[in-house]
Chain A
Amino acid sequence: MGWFGLRAKKDAEQDFMEKVFVHWDGMYRYALRLTGNESEASDLVQESIAKALQHFDRVRPDTNYRAWVYTIVRNAFVSRIRKGDRLSLVEDIDVHAAEPDAPVGSVMELLGNDKFKEGFEDEVLAALQDLPEAQRTAVVLCDIEGLDYEAIAHVLDCPVGTVRSRIHHARKRLKQALVGYARARGFGNVESHG
């Protein structure tokens, strides 16, 4: 079998449904985190499924299809940005490399406080949305979709070490954002730690 061996036509439908289509809702969740908008996420998933359908018979059988479909979603999203659809440009991770560690410990402890818990998940999602796209993708695919670093590296087209770095920096930023949330909610005595 060559790198782009053709698969038997008679199995194409079942094959596609089992290997690609089953990931549609994961694609939607990822698209939602990329676009921050349900309507645009739906568009992005439909465009991505259509592209997957177009190229499916040229994909190697041993491909990690889950990583492949997320790659398609991300490429479609980045392509939209480049075409000037909307949204900000993808930021580079190194911009944030020198950030200090976030004061986070006591914020997480505040989760035991009912007043603090209210709206916390919304805040987590908002903080995710504020991350640079590459960091957001790394964290979303890791924490929400459960991909391993190697698969995420495939999606981001970067070394595994870069994925590790992006997740580390993304979590620092998330924690910083939650500190801001705690202070905005009147928990002013959040202390630095960690």
Chain B
Amino acid sequence: MHEPEDLEMSKATDDAAGRRQDCDAALRPHLSALVDGELEPLEAIALQQHVRQSPALEAEYRELERLKMAVHLAGTRSPSPVALGELLERRCRASLSAKKTRESKVPLWIWLAPLGALSAAAVALIVATGSTAPSTGGVDQVAVKPSSDPSDLVMARLVAFHKEGRSPMTLADLSARGALVTVERLPDSFIVPEGQRAKVVQASYMGCNEREGGSTLAVMRVDRVDLPQRIDNALDATGVYVDTIDGVQVRMSVSGDKLYVLLSGDADKAPSPI
């Protein structure tokens, strides 16, 4: 038979659990905004504190992060057709030029008439090139000329980290100022050879930091990293930047306030475990 004190304690425990569930339910709809960095600073701090104290909310927060990354990678895996971009650019320049000289409106039919032909040409080009896309995926089509300037400090450091297997402590200052969210070694199977594209969504589940060779994924806060203008321009314009620096393939993409940097190839030696 329970003593009255035991019953009261049990009831109090049940009440506390019930309150936590109520609280979790009330906060759950705000997790997406937290993941997207869209809460006011004080809201975000308060919610982060609660998330840390609630295993259920924390698990859901992590899932939302992974889902966001999965959507980003799935949505950017295929390149936009280069032929379409070139055709659009030619037509834009021609229309603007005609507009300037004639000071008259460009009739819509100039654009609409050849739509069928243009799209057919674009699709044909996709078919022709799609199956042989290089490992950089759609990156060759980014309207930025690849440049290999290792003097770009952050990039050069990440490249060195990847290539030379440096200790993560060499990036500690980036973490300290909030620029580096995480850096992970990825196993060789991280890159799907036949698809020639990265599946970052797998990163958290594939025994990261244990591979010899393979790739490196760095997640950074885009507002806390100083990038060269050409990279900023490419990211602003297309959301993706690809380059080869010192023999290392670098693929950068932005989602929300996060900058994802994937480095692969040409690792001089096996990196030390993180």
Q: Which of A10, A17, A24, A139 contacts B71 (CB 8 A)?
A: A139
Name the segment of B82-90, B168-176, B243-251 touching the other chain: B82-90
- Binary CB contact string for chain B from 90 to 104 against chain A (1 if under 8 A, 0 otherwise): 011101110110010
Question: Are A194 and B60 neighbours in the complex by a CB distance under 8 Å?
Answer: yes
Which residue of A has the minimal Cβ distance to B253?
A: A146
| A9 on interface, CB distance cutoff 8 Å | yes
| Nearest CB on B from A40, distance (A) | 8
CB contacts (< 8 Å) of B97 on chain A: these are 13
Give how many B residues have a beta carbon under 8 Å from the other chain's beta carbons: 72
CB contacts (< 8 Å) of A43 on chain B: these are 115-116, 119
Question: Are A168 and B29 neighbours in the complex by a CB distance under 8 Å?
Answer: yes
CB contacts (< 8 Å) of A121 on chain B: these are 70, 73-74, 77, 199
Question: Are A47 and B92 neighbours in the complex by a CB distance under 8 Å?
Answer: no
Q: Which of B81, B92, B103, B205 contacts A112 (CB 8 A)?
A: B205
| A59 on interface, CB distance cutoff 8 Å | no
Q: Which of A24, A42, A122 contacts B123 (CB 8 A)?
A: A42
Question: Are A112 and B206 neighbours in the complex by a CB distance under 8 Å?
Answer: yes
Q: Which of A10, A45, A54, A175 contacts B63 (CB 8 A)?
A: A175
Question: Are B108 and A124 neighbours in the complex by a CB distance under 8 Å?
Answer: no
Q: List residues of A (18-53) whose CB comes within 8 Å of B's CBs.
A: 21-26, 28-29, 32-33, 38-40, 42-43, 45-47, 49-50, 53
A-B contact count (CB 8 A): 186
| B50 on interface, CB distance cutoff 8 Å | no
- Binary CB contact string for chain A from 101 to 128 against chain B (1 if under 8 A, 0 otherwise): 1001100110110100100111011001
How long is the Cα–Cα vector from A101 to B143 in the complex, in angstroms?
41
How long is the Cα–Cα vector from A120 to B74 in the complex, in angstroms?
9
Question: Are B32 and A193 neighbours in the complex by a CB distance under 8 Å?
Answer: no
Question: Are B256 and A146 neighbours in the complex by a CB distance under 8 Å?
Answer: yes
Q: Which of A22, A24, A32, A148 contacts B38 (CB 8 A)?
A: A148
Which residue of B has the minimal Cβ distance to A113?
A: B205
Say whether, besides A33-B75, A146-B239, A193 and B66 are in contact (CB < 8 Å).
no
| A155 on interface, CB distance cutoff 8 Å | no
| Nearest CB on B from A94, distance (A) | 14
| A174 on interface, CB distance cutoff 8 Å | yes
CB contacts (< 8 Å) of A9 on chain B: these are 100, 103
| B201 on interface, CB distance cutoff 8 Å | yes
Q: Which of B68, B100, B254 contacts A13 (CB 8 A)?
A: B100
Question: Are B76 and A38 neighbours in the complex by a CB distance under 8 Å?
Answer: no
| Nearest CB on B from A192, distance (A) | 11
Question: Are B71 and A46 neighbours in the complex by a CB distance under 8 Å?
Answer: no
A9, A24, A140: most-surrounded residue (chain B CB, <10 A): A24
Cross-chain pairs A/B with CB under 8 angstroms, 12 sampled: A9-B103, A17-B89, A43-B116, A45-B84, A46-B88, A46-B111, A49-B92, A54-B108, A142-B256, A168-B29, A168-B32, A194-B59
The 5 closest A-B pairs by CB, nearest first: A112-B205, A144-B75, A50-B111, A25-B80, A22-B237
The interface of chain B, by Cβ under 8 A from chain A, is 28-33, 36, 38, 56, 59-60, 62-64, 66-68, 70-81, 84-85, 88-89, 91-93, 95-97, 99-100, 103, 105-106, 108, 110-112, 115-116, 118-120, 122-123, 126, 141, 143, 189, 199, 201-202, 204-206, 236-239, 254-256
